[in-house]
Each structure stands twice: as structure tokens, then as C-alpha cells.
Amino acid sequence: MTFSHLNRRVHLYLGLALLPWFFMYAISSIPFAHTPFVEARDVAKKLPMWTLRMDRTIDVNVPAPDARATELRAFGAAILNAAGIHGTSFGVYRQSESQINVYAYSFWKSTQVKYFIPERRFTVEDRRFRWDQFLTGMHARGGFEDERILTRSWSVVVDLVCLSIVVWIGSGVYMWWGLPGHRRWGMAAIVAGAASFLIFTLAL
């Protein structure tokens, strides 16, 4: 097998294996790029975004305002446990001095738990399913903050997709260079693209 052959096969098989991710990133970019349009359509439906499921008090130790991220995360896990929410990814944010929010989410379902510090009370609300949020949630999924192996493995695939894009660029350029009849127009396309991108970079 020659290098050229190997290069073609890597370009192809990597593309086929990661096709669902590549397609997902393309489709899910649409609601990001056209947020006002998507939001306006949803607002027209006049449906509430959140539905209250639980409202109760709980006595827990609240982390100090300057607490480390790990402490805040442990607090979030305890609150989720009290709310009966298990085994999902979550994020914890200090909304204000008197409120901490915990967001539990999967690709299909999102729940927010608001803890009101002075009242030692929390509410649990479920978010209405929306296709655009399903897609943007998948698009934005990543990072290694979550300890669970499954979640981390998704982030490893995200890294693999990033690396693959670089490989597709490199292998694609190599294949193009192997077509002498297309070098001139190909070079024109590269220069035009790079110049346009540079103008955007400097002028935006």
C-alpha cells in the first residue's frame, strides 16, 4: 500500500465512522446561527418553558461564596440526590448571593433545581422538550469536568472529531496536490478562502 493509498483510505473511513458527529454538528449549528428566528417561532407557541415538579425545604451545608468548584459540585450532587435525580450530568452555578442553581441534563431532558439559601428551600422544574435545544445541547456537550466515564468518553470523541477535521484538511490537500490538472484552480480556492478569512479576522 502506497502512502497515497493509505491517505485516501484514512480520509474515507474516518469520514464514514465520524459521519454522525459531523452531520450533527452541521445541523445543530442552524439553531445557533439563527437563534432569533428559532426563538420567535417558539415564543409564538405560547407554551411555558419550565414546569414545577417539586418545592420543599432541606437542611444542608451550603458552600461558602469562595468555595472551590469541587465543593460546589458536591453540594449540587447532594441537592440532586434530595430531589431524586440520579445518574445525569449536571452543572452547578451560584446565581446570586442567596441562590444556587443546579442543572441536570441529558440529551433528551433538562431539569433545573434552584436552591434558595435564606429559606433553605429548593424547587425542581422540568424543561419542555424542544428540538432546537436538543440539537444545541448535543452540539455544546463536552468537557472533562464530569467524573463519569461515559460522559468523558463522549468528550474524547469530540477531541477525535477535532483531530479528524485537521486530518481531513491535511489528507484532502495531499489528494488535491496529486491532481495536477486542478492545482491552479485549487490554489485559487485556497488563496481566496484564506484571504477572506484573514480579512474577517482582522476587520470583525
Partner 1 sequence: MLSRLVRRTHMYLALFLFPWMLMYALSTAVMNHRAYFVERYGSGPIPFEAERTITYDGVFAENAELRTISQQILASLDLDGAHNVSRRKDGAIVINRNDLTTPRRLTYSPADRTVVIERMAHRSSAFLERFHRRRGYATGYRLDTLWAVSVDLVLVAMVFWVASGLWMWWEMKVTRRLGLSAFVLGAATFGFYLMTL
Nearer to partner 1, 118 or 181 (CB): 181
Q: DSSP of the chain, one letter per residue? A: --HHHHHHHHHHHHHHHTHHHHHHHHHHHHHHHTHHHHHHHHHHHT--SEEEEEEEE---PPPPTT--HHHHHHHHHHHHHHTT--S-EEEEEEEETTEEEEEEE-SS-EEEEEEETTTTEEEEEEEPP-HHHHHHHHHH---S-S--HHHHHHHHHHHHHHHHHHHHHHHHHHHHHT-GGGHHHHHHHHHHHHHHHHHHHHH-
- The CB-of-133 to partner 1 minimum distance in angstroms stands at 15
Interface residues toward partner 1, by CB under 8 A: 9, 12-27, 29-30, 32-36, 69, 89, 106-107, 141-145, 150-151, 154-155, 157-159, 161-163, 165-166, 168-169, 172-173, 175-176, 182, 185-186, 189-190, 192-194, 196-198, 200-204
Nearer to partner 1, 9 or 121 (CB): 9
- The CB-of-88 to partner 1 minimum distance in angstroms stands at 9
Nearer to partner 1, 117 or 173 (CB): 173
- The CB-of-71 to partner 1 minimum distance in angstroms stands at 14
- The CB-of-7 to partner 1 minimum distance in angstroms stands at 14
Nearer to partner 1, 117 or 198 (CB): 198
